[in-house]
Chains A and B, each alone.
Chain A
Amino acid sequence: MAEPMFPLVAEQAQVRRRGKVLVGPVDLTLQGQGTTIVIGPNGAGKTSLLKMLHGILRMNGGDLRWACPMAEAQRRQAFVFQSPVMMRRSVVDNIAYPLQLIGTKRKEARARAAAWAERISLGDALDRPATLLSGGERQKLALARALIREPDVLFLDEPCASLDGRATREIEEILQQTASEGTRLIMSTHNMGQAQRLADEVIFVLQGRIHEFSPAVEFFSGPRTAQAKAFLRGDIVE
């Protein structure tokens, strides 16, 4: 086993664009087990927070440290975007692409990708252009593509937004399986039911800051702040 990645520590981490603060300053320490769910109203900065932690949003201040060197940490994580990017190639080539980037032989990469496609019930669509898939199929493909390198940390940005119930269940099953195999999940969602089903701990984001960070059981039974209470009730929170 490689050296541990956690704890992940953020200190006064901040991202600004065009003079506007997207997220931060954030102080956060994430430990190495379980599934972290990020919730909060639209525009609160959930996406920016995830992208910042993942390292694809350049920070304008503060500090972000993994327990292992940065380059290694970057190799061991993956990200599933809210609207998945379909590369303009076939389903199997999409899923195999991350393996090819790290030098896996094409034949082996495609074989492993085909196995993943089977798992997300796209086994009979291997050679179809990925751009022709439906929304749910795209999201499953993106998930398979993110997991094929067997990352230690997986970020997901509202992966089930705008999906129907069946696709949502399929994705949650894969996520639960993945989590049980020891992969650390950090995921944002709008769906409170989904949050309760998957979460071990909850980050409640408001106006770019972490408003509350607590174990899931505690958060859902009794949030500490008035805003979190209102959000859980379904009120509009600004």
Chain B
Amino acid sequence: MADLLDGMVRAFWLLVTLDRDLVEITLRSLQVTLTALAIAALIALPLAALLSVRRFRLRRVTIAVLNALMGLPPVVVGLIVYVFLSRSGPLGVLGLLFTPTAMIIAQVIIIVPLIASIAHQSLRELWSDYHDLLISMNATQSQRIKALLWDGRRALLTAALAGFGRAIGEVGAIMVVGGNIDHATRVLTTAIALETGKGDFAMALGLGFVLIALAIAVNLAIHWLGHTESEGRW
């Protein structure tokens, strides 16, 4: 219990003094996760819409695979990315291992199935609503996808935020592919793991509170950015 209180005090001081290391790893956390989120959304959302509007042969299999991949342990993703990016791996020449780019790649792989699955759930419902109307209007495949993505944007925002939450709190994969290098690839979660390892629970908890505050702030910011012109209630 004392640790918890101590952690809150520590988090408070880190924040009010704008501790330089804290600012650095927080910004890196944001940079890595927001980039991963943007890339993952660009892949996952159209995929979810396509799975909703189009009945192709491997559709059911794809959906099942996506759902299964949602439960993939991040550390496994980390190991697979590591094997590919290692100097002795197929993509070793790129020299990406232990860089923020490698962490972004791992996070994209982790959250694409999650975002696509959640998005597909809601887009499927929207599509059953729109199905007759859009077919009656002769909308092409890409027009149908566009209409779903636009009109379903609120649900898609929720899906994206779920992805953000999973990515920002993830530690297993980015520890393996990022290496937790100070001033290069250290982010909030790996720093927390490090402090826990040192037995400095107060510092670990302090960073944990910063992470929670960051997640809340980003959620609010994205909701606010996504707020449409009027007081829309779709």
A and B touch in the complex (CB under 8 A): yes
Docked CA distance A87–B148 (Å):
10
Q: Tell me if B130 counts as interface (CB < 8 A to partner A).
A: yes
B151, closest chain A residue (CB): A88
Chain B residues with CB below 8 A from A56, complex form: 132, 135-136
SS class, residues of chain B in contact with chain A:
helix
> Per a CB cutoff under 8 Å, which of B130, B137, B233 touches A101?
B137
Contact call A85/B138, Cβ cutoff below 8 A? no
> Per a CB cutoff under 8 Å, which of A75, A87, A90 touches B138?
A75
> Per a CB cutoff under 8 Å, which of B129, B137, B234 touches A129?
B234
B137, closest chain A residue (CB): A98
- Output the least CB separation between B114 and chain A (Å): 24
- Output the least CB separation between A90 and chain B (Å): 8
Contact call B233/A85, Cβ cutoff below 8 A? no
- Output the least CB separation between A55 and chain B (Å): 9
Q: Tell me if A106 counts as interface (CB < 8 A to partner B).
A: no
Q: Tell me if A6 counts as interface (CB < 8 A to partner B).
A: no
Give the most central of B126, B138, B143, B229: most A CB within 10 Å: B138
- Beyond A85-B132, A85-B133, whether A129 also contacts B233 by CB under 8 A is yes
Contact call A88/B152, Cβ cutoff below 8 A? yes
Give the size category of B's interface with A: 20 to 34
- Output the least CB separation between B149 and chain A (Å): 12
Docked CA distance A229–B139 (Å):
42
Q: Tell me if A54 counts as interface (CB < 8 A to partner B).
A: yes
Chain B residues with CB below 8 A from A129, complex form: 230, 232-234
Docked CA distance A85–B147 (Å):
13
SS class, residues of chain A in contact with chain B:
mixed
- Output the least CB separation between A89 and chain B (Å): 6
Contact call B133/A87, Cβ cutoff below 8 A? yes
Docked CA distance A87–B137 (Å):
13
Chain B residues with CB below 8 A from A180, complex form: none
Q: Tell me if A74 counts as interface (CB < 8 A to partner B).
A: yes
Docked CA distance A101–B147 (Å):
10
Q: Tell me if A219 counts as interface (CB < 8 A to partner B).
A: no
- Output the least CB separation between A107 and chain B (Å): 16
Chain A residues with CB below 8 A from B130, complex form: 85, 87
Docked CA distance A101–B150 (Å):
14
B147, closest chain A residue (CB): A87
Docked CA distance A54–B137 (Å):
11
Contact call A78/B139, Cβ cutoff below 8 A? no
B233, closest chain A residue (CB): A129
Chain A 137-158 interface 0/1 with B at a Cβ cutoff of 8 Å (1 = within): 0000000000000000000000
- Beyond A85-B130, A87-B130, whether A79 also contacts B136 by CB under 8 A is yes
A71, closest chain B residue (CB): B138
Q: Tell me if A67 counts as interface (CB < 8 A to partner B).
A: no
- Output the least CB separation between B158 and chain A (Å): 14
Q: Tell me if A127 counts as interface (CB < 8 A to partner B).
A: yes
Q: Tell me if A131 counts as interface (CB < 8 A to partner B).
A: yes
Give the most central of A51, A81, A87: most B CB within 10 Å: A87
Chain A 191-218 interface 0/1 with B at a Cβ cutoff of 8 Å (1 = within): 0000000000000000000000000000
- Output the least CB separation between B101 and chain A (Å): 37
Q: Tell me if A132 counts as interface (CB < 8 A to partner B).
A: yes
- Beyond A89-B151, A101-B143, A127-B230, whether A74 also contacts B138 by CB under 8 A is yes
Chain B residues with CB below 8 A from A74, complex form: 138
Within 8 A of A (CB), among B208-234: 229-230, 232-234
Within 8 A of B (CB), among A51-97: 51, 54, 56, 74-75, 78-79, 81, 85, 87-90, 97
8 closest cross-chain pairs (CB), A and B: A88-B234, A88-B151, A85-B133, A79-B136, A56-B135, A98-B137, A101-B139, A74-B138
Using A79-B136, A88-B152, A97-B147 as known contacts, list a sample of 12 further A-B pairs with CB atoms less than 8 Å apart, ordered by residue number in A. Answer: A56-B136, A81-B133, A85-B133, A87-B151, A88-B126, A88-B234, A89-B151, A89-B234, A90-B230, A101-B137, A101-B138, A129-B232
Residues of A within 8 A of B (CB): 51, 54, 56, 74-75, 78-79, 81, 85, 87-90, 97-98, 101, 127, 129, 131-132
Could you list 17 examples of A-B contacts with CB < 8 Å? A56-B132, A74-B138, A78-B137, A79-B136, A85-B130, A85-B132, A85-B133, A87-B130, A87-B133, A87-B151, A89-B150, A90-B230, A97-B147, A98-B137, A127-B229, A129-B232, A132-B233
